[in-house]
Homo-oligomer: A and B are copies of this chain.
Amino acid sequence: MSKEELKRVSDSKTTKSLKKGETIFGEGEKLNGVYCVRDGVSKLSKLSANGKDQIVKLASKGQILGQRSVIAEEKVNLTAVAVSDMEVCFIPKDSIVETLQTNPNFTMEVLRHMAHDLKEADDVIVNMSQNSVKQRMAAAFFYLRNSYGEDKNGFLNLILSREDISNIVGTATESAIRIISEFKKKGLIKTLGKKIGITDEKGLMGIVEEF
């Protein structure tokens, strides 16, 4: 993006603080802009017919929320809720559309990004349909570590409720808890309150790759 464009986008931005648990936008809303995460983490989920949430994606610093619906000019299909305290900035639709129309490099960048997201979505579909809950749980811990890292004591930086974990994995909360207990008993992970840490990387990876 050129300096001018950067300036224009920057000018049109308004930042907003959100407390953990607050909603950024909800399924079915019409967005007139996108949100850029400056700090904190958001969960993007979709309510299924049976009343359960499925978390499709987590978004943190630098990631954009709502671009799909703005680009496709459709209502949002996901609900975005803050998983931790957050700071987001809002970029109005017009600003996005104009930049898309005038800056081919930006557009290509968005395109590449979407292509990548689409590939990831395919992986999730296969993971969901072909792996056991145990495998998905183990994979989720690696995903969380890769994406958000761990603290000096070896606990995952991103602290999620057991319910959120179960909604990522797509299972009942009780099942998630049971599997956490089992992994703990086997020495694959450790817990401290809500905090979870991987202790036996190799063993846990073995679960992921089990067939």
Interface residues, chain A, with chain B CB atoms under 8 Å away? 46, 48-52, 54, 56, 67-69, 71-74, 77-78, 100-101, 104, 107-108, 110-112, 114-119, 121-131, 170, 209, 211
With A71-B111, A104-B104, A107-B108 given, is the CB distance from A48 to B130 under 8 Å? yes
A74 to B116, CA, bound (A): 9
Partner of A111, one of B49, B107, B128: B107
Kindly report which residue of chain B lies nearest to residue A105, judged by CB atoms.
Answer: B101
Tell me whether B122 and A78 are in contact (CB under 8 A): yes
**Inter-chain contacts of A74 with B (CB < 8 A):** 115-116, 119
Kindly report which residue of chain B lies nearest to residue A70, judged by CB atoms.
Answer: B115
Tell me whether A125 and B126 are in contact (CB under 8 A): no
Tell me whether B130 and A170 are in contact (CB under 8 A): yes
**Inter-chain contacts of A67 with B (CB < 8 A):** 115
**Inter-chain contacts of A69 with B (CB < 8 A):** 115, 119
> Smallest distance from the beta carbon of A53 to chain B beta carbons, Å?
9
Tell me whether A52 and B111 are in contact (CB under 8 A): no
**Inter-chain contacts of A130 with B (CB < 8 A):** 48-50, 52, 54, 170
Most buried by B among A54, A111, A121, A122: A122
A170 to B130, CA, bound (A): 7
Kindly report which residue of chain B lies nearest to residue A71, judged by CB atoms.
Answer: B115
4 A-B pairs besides A49-B209, A78-B122, A100-B104 with CB distance below 8 A are A50-B131, A68-B115, A104-B107, A121-B124
Kindly report which residue of chain B lies nearest to residue A101, judged by CB atoms.
Answer: B104
Most buried by B among A50, A111, A121, A129: A129
